Amino acid sequence: MKAILSVYDKTGIVDLAKSLNSAGVDLISTGGTHQLLSELSGLPVSRVSDLTGSPEILGGRVKTLHPTIHGGVLAVRDDPAHMAELKKHSIEPIDVVVVNLYPFEATVGRPDFSTEEAIENIDIGGPTLIRAAAKNHASVIVIVDPSDYQWVAEALGEGKVSMAERRRLAAKAFSHVARYDSIVSNWLNDPEEIFPQELTVGLKLVSRLRYGENSHQKGAVYANALNESGIVAAKQLHGKELSYNNILDADAAWAAASDIPEPAVAVIKHTNPCGLATHPDIAEAYRRAHAGDPVSAFGGILGFNRIVTQEAAEELRSIFYEVIVAPGYDEGALAVLKKKRDLRILELVDSDDMARGLEVRHVSGGVLVQERDVAKALADSWTVATERAPTNSEWKDLVFAWRVVRHVKSNAIVLIRDEAVVGLGAGQPNRVNSVHLALREAGERAKGAVLASDAFFPFPDGVEMAVAGGITSVIQPGGSIRDADILHTANNAGISMVFTGERHFRH
């Protein structure tokens, strides 16, 4: 038997080579792998160039791209014509291929890389060799993952690697190359062309979860290639294993809190912010966020956009929360929070992920792709549509409300008072129901509050209900064929109304 070993990541390769050598496998290698195995480890290893009769050329760009190598890998062992051709050209079969690739992902993930450096780290021979071996997996064992070294070596020592195992290794090999190619293609894509003709997504398993959204569903979490930010990259400092729903809600908490420029805290339940408030003192911001809906806050997820202080930690310690995510925690805060045995504490510093990339949602037969909704609340572009303009305090609340409402499931209605959520209506089939729910939640706090609607009011009834509940100002996209009727209702009631000209549906 013969094996080619050509790896950039040398983890475990010496032990694998020793096991293969002990099993009577002839070893062939290239470049740095050969140096490690032969000169530093004393193993009997031939060079690929000795086998091919051709030197490595073009600075190492061409090493394994040779008929002697690919003929030995691709020959079908039970095809007499293939084997006769190998004999005719003095080519020996290659039975094991161990390859991993140049670190393109790590290279372009650095802030200081050059284009030339990135290009040189696009592997050509490695993926070609992997694909050839994976195609001929009935005859060739292909290994791309160091975690497979030990069991494959043991199986070869016993003289048996089953067809099911070979097929599994081949599938992993093709997935490995496909992800690698997707990273390269996405890096090469014109950043102005957000929807290329063919869209590839490179994902890597982070962990298998206990279950998915419900206990009868299996679940896992994967990380995007070229993206080391976002909730998947959060560092868990304490608490139980994260669940599917924890991750989903923690992402919503981080998105809502980090969307606010000022110090803010979000309380999330089923991806909706049942509480969200801003205040210069982060502990006070938490108190106001929790007060938005204290009942729903129980068992929720907290998102902070500033360092969690000990005072804030003391405030929340008496309430059961599943997860807290923040850019950091002071020492006293961690000491307090870690007393809650099951609380999952996440640290996530980089919020840039919220402002880039695409959203991909599966539908039957394919996917929907769109840009993230990261439009800023630009009050300068808004229109005061009523006879009365908002007061200064109403303007502050309207701007805050417009930032909050895009994080709420449509049809979305948010009531804000003193830059804190006091009522929420989410995910209802009609807007009037959302207004009703928000007013019911707010109660007396609705008096003097402002209202944000993620889309226009199709009829005056929603505004009439808001006026009756004590709302003094409304912000909405406008654009309904009944805008005149709606503005007539607002003017008669003496409230102010602002049109933004954009909507924030979130399905």
Which of 204, 270, 396, 488 is an active site residue?
270
pLDDT, position 353: 47
Residue 350 pLDDT greater than 80, yes or no:
no
User: What are the residue ranges spanned by the domains of the chain?
Assistant: 2-188, 231-349, 379-499
CB-based contacts of 380: which residues, under 8 Å, 6+ apart?
A: none
Burial of 120 (0-12, 13-18, 19+ CB in 10 A): middle
SS (H, E, C) 198-216: CCCCCEEEEEEECCCCCCC
DSSP labels for 264-325?
EEEEEETTEEEEEEE-SSHHHHHHHHHHT-HHHHTTEEEEESSPBPHHHHHHHTTS-EEEEE
Residue located via tokens 């060799």: 129
Mean pLDDT of 274-280: 96
- Can 270 be counted among the known catalytic residues? yes
- Give residue 301's pLDDT band: very low, low, confident or very high (50, 70, 90): very high
**Is 135 among the residues known to form the active site?**
yes
pTM: 0.85
Pairing relationship of beta strands 366-371 and 358-363 according to DSSP bridges = antiparallel
Token digits of residue 48: 């690929």
User: Superfamily for 2-188?
Assistant: Methylglyoxal synthase-like domain (3.40.50.1380)
Which residue has 């006879």 as its token pair? Answer: 387
The fold of the 231-349 domain, in CATH, is Cytidine Deaminase; domain 2 (3.40.140)
Question: Which of 63-72, 112-121, 455-464 reaches the highest mean pLDDT?
Answer: 455-464
Q: Which of 135, 204, 338, 396 is catalytic?
A: 135
Q: pLDDT at residue 354 above 60? A: no
Residue 387 reports pLDDT greater than 80? yes
Judge if 231-349 and 379-499 fold alike in CATH terms.
Answer: yes
Which class in CATH covers the domain with range 379-499?
alpha beta
**Closest by alpha carbon to 435, among 423, 444, 447, 443?**
423
Does 105 have pLDDT greater than 70? yes
